[in-house]
A and B are shown apart, each in its own frame.
Chain A
Amino acid sequence: MSAVTATTATADTSPTTQAPVPGGGGRGTRVLKAIWGNKKAFVGTVMLAIFVLAAIVPQIFTHISSPNTKQFEQMLPPGAGHLLGTNAFGQDIWAQLVWGTRQSLFVAVVAGALASVLSIIIGVSSAYLGGIGDGLLSLLTDVFLVIPAFPLIIVIAAYAGAGGLPVVIGVLVVTGWSYGARQLRAQALSLRNREFLESARVRGERSSYVIIFEILPTMVSLIAANFLGAALYALLTAAGLQFIGLGDSSSVSWGTMLHWAQSNEALETGQQQWVIAPGLCIALLGASFALINYAFDEIGNPALRPVRRRKGRK
């Protein structure tokens, strides 16, 4: 979805302007420090932490342990007993929301991570190989980039039958890697003739060693940004897929909640919170990815950092 371009496109300018530090010692701590110092990244990280907490231990946010059981009176308004009321099935909306975090976050993180791994493999080896191998891999990347992913996903999901998580994650990975691969290739290309790589080659290191221990550490921030972009894409696309009823409609997730809300005409029957709440959660989780991503961009590309007005020495 365009959200991915929106956030990761900003990194487009960075590969050429970035000045990565060779080696990589202390890079991780510096990234952490940068997140701490960047307001956008800080807000994003706090939001993400809350969702992660809800995904791991939903019990601290709600006492209801089986959110899908139709155990309450139907269509109760929001109130003391039920924070967001109950829906047309008699399920507690708040409990569904809390328990739904787990699957939505899981899909986003797993599909995002797998897609990033794929884009690292294809992007970096494309740049490293050069020549005809590079030509073919770049072509493959571009082709996957422009083929509209969602119609393809719909076609695959339709044939695979409204499927379980593996199918959903699989199609998200297949359609989600290309943008990152393109960026990583550009970044790796700009590194190719650096002296520290030259010296590794002269030392007679294997190319697998050079790629893993010399090239990858210099691209940590770009890889992280790519992961966040891919996770955001996976989150939104999975929600869309569940919304139109091509996910597992008995699962507890935000997309599925929206699906049932829409098919029960929640808006027309005055159950707005049934629609607003899960969408808002998707939006907030997505925003936390996007905010951290945006900050990584600023860390990677100094030209984009906000200009500080000098108050003495900072």
Chain B
Amino acid sequence: MRFLLRRLGFFVITLWVALTVNFFIPRLMPGNPAEAMMSRFKGRINPEAMHALEVAFGLNTQKPLLVQYVDYLGNMFTGHFGISLTFFPQPVSKVVLQALPWTVGLVGITTVIAFLLGTLIGMVSGWRRNGVVDSVLPPVFVITSALPYFWVGLLLILFFSLGTNGALPNDGSYDPSLDPGFNLPFIADVLKHAVLPALSILIISIGGWILTMRNNVVTTLAEDYIRMARAKGIPGRKIMFGYAARNAILPNLSGFAMSLGFVVSGSILVEFTFNYPGLGYMLLNAVDNQDYPLMQALFVLITVAVLIAILICDFFTAWLDPRVRTE
């Protein structure tokens, strides 16, 4: 219980830091870019929205910084992110919610697949030291993990989309001529559009899981309880799954939580490369259009999504590892 409370506390603190950073970035930047943006939009949006924006960026306001800050935190927790300038007059929260499912679907599912597959390969690789899997895969994945996400995406487009005359699409998340909804052609089309972006994320991120898991298994195999199990004559397969992998997977799980931020960062570039309408693509669009409210809301939302995933990981660890619970 103490473990979970501590992790919950960490969640709250990290969220607070992210929100605070988010609050101060536009205020600390030289030359006040927010002001420049406002003057660009003057006359194009109604005075009321203009005022809301001025408050959000701390312009033309008599309120002391502390009051602004408290107001801002209040707005964040009640979901008032302001009004998007590109999608005017829609509120940012509504715009963002349209993009959320695409990212959660693409990045979430791909990451879980990469984790499971990578852990499995890493286990086999560590179990059979110097076997075929072990001698070929780790060096290969040392290389793949050094590749830029977007470049892998571009290569996949070149070979599997342009190279096959468009057998696999490389643009967007579904064919706009189809009727979005719960019908077979639409779902098939969505999956088809997700293949290449998912593959890029998979190729890059799987290497980390393989290497960590392999090294964990190698370290675990030196433990006395493994030798004991061998001495008792327990079949090898059972030792691999029940003794070695089971103990080796725990650090991998916390590693999963830690590297989620990296995966999400990379997936922004993948979404950009494939014009995939998720949070990352929207973030870059917001940057292009100098839509600062949308941009900042997206940063907060991406951070919250990562933090929630980490929290789920923590709960999972507590459930799997009795040592953590009794700590």
Bin the interface of chain A by size.
35 or more
Q: Is the CB of B219 within 8 A of A17?
A: yes
B310 within 8 A of A: yes
B72 within 8 A of A: no
A113 within 8 A of B: no
Instruction: Mark each residue of chain B from 175 to 198: 1 if its CB lies under 8 Å from any CB of chain A, else 0.
Output: 000000000000000000000000
- Which residues 278-308 of A sit at the B interface, judged by CB distance below 8 A? 279, 282-283, 286-287, 289-291, 294, 301, 303-304, 306-307
| Chain B minimum-CB-distance residue to A157 | B287
Q: Evaluate whether A9 and B219 lie within 8 angstroms (CB atoms) in the complex, with A160-B29, A236-B148, A267-B157 already known.
A: no
Residues of B within 8 A of A290 (CB): 142-143, 145-146
- Which residues 214-251 of A sit at the B interface, judged by CB distance below 8 A? 232, 236-237, 239-240, 243-246
A283 to B148, CA, bound (A): 7
Give the most central of B10, B147, B148, B303: most A CB within 10 Å: B148
B90 within 8 A of A: no
Q: Is the CB of B266 within 8 A of A1?
A: yes
Residues of B within 8 A of A17 (CB): 219
Q: Is the CB of A158 within 8 A of B204?
A: no
Q: Which of B21, B31, B147, B258 contacts A152 (CB 8 A)?
A: B21
Q: Is the CB of A151 within 8 A of B204?
A: no
Residues of B within 8 A of A148 (CB): 260-262, 264-265, 302-303, 306
- Name the segment of B59-67, B234-242, B293-301 touching the other chain: B293-301
| Chain B minimum-CB-distance residue to A272 | B158
| Chain A minimum-CB-distance residue to B150 | A243
Residues of B within 8 A of A187 (CB): none
A148 to B304, CA, bound (A): 10
A290 to B263, CA, bound (A): 18
A145 to B212, CA, bound (A): 18
Q: Is the CB of A3 within 8 A of B10?
A: no
Residues of B within 8 A of A150 (CB): 264-266, 268-269
A276 to B162, CA, bound (A): 14
B283 within 8 A of A: yes
Q: From residue B303, how far is it (CB to closest CB) to chain A in Å?
A: 6
Q: Is the CB of A3 within 8 A of B25?
A: no
A142 to B162, CA, bound (A): 43
A117 within 8 A of B: no
B17 within 8 A of A: yes
Residues of A within 8 A of B21 (CB): 147, 152
Residues of A within 8 A of B10 (CB): 139, 142-143
- Which residues 20-79 of A sit at the B interface, judged by CB distance below 8 A? 40
Q: Evaluate whether A146 and B269 lie within 8 angstroms (CB atoms) in the complex, with A9-B211, A287-B146 already known.
A: no
The B interface is mostly helix, strand or loop, or mixed, namely helix
Q: Is the CB of A10 within 8 A of B211?
A: yes
Q: Is the CB of A307 within 8 A of B130?
A: yes
- Which residues 21-35 of B sit at the A interface, judged by CB distance below 8 A? 21-22, 25-26, 29, 31, 33-34
Q: Is the CB of A151 within 8 A of B222?
A: no
A139 to B204, CA, bound (A): 29
Residues of A within 8 A of B218 (CB): 303-304
A236 to B145, CA, bound (A): 10
B14 within 8 A of A: yes
- Which residues 120-171 of B sit at the A interface, judged by CB distance below 8 A? 129-130, 138-139, 141-143, 145-151, 154-155, 157-158, 162
A160 to B154, CA, bound (A): 28
Q: Which residues in B have some Cβ–Cβ distance to A below 8 Å?
A: 10, 13-14, 17-18, 21-22, 25-26, 29, 31, 33-34, 129-130, 138-139, 141-143, 145-151, 154-155, 157-158, 162, 204-205, 207-208, 211-212, 215-216, 218-219, 222, 251, 255, 257-266, 268-269, 272-273, 280, 283-284, 287-288, 290, 292, 295-296, 298-299, 302-303, 306-307, 310
Closest 8 CB pairs between A and B?
A: A150-B265, A286-B146, A6-B145, A279-B151, A6-B208, A5-B259, A148-B261, A2-B262
Q: List 22 A-B contacts (CB under 8 A).
A: A1-B149, A2-B262, A3-B145, A9-B208, A10-B212, A13-B216, A13-B219, A146-B257, A146-B307, A148-B306, A151-B299, A159-B29, A240-B266, A243-B272, A244-B272, A244-B284, A244-B287, A258-B150, A279-B148, A291-B142, A303-B218, A307-B129
13 A-B pairs besides A146-B14, A150-B265, A240-B148 with CB distance below 8 A are A2-B263, A9-B211, A142-B10, A154-B299, A158-B290, A159-B26, A240-B149, A240-B150, A243-B269, A245-B288, A267-B157, A268-B162, A283-B147
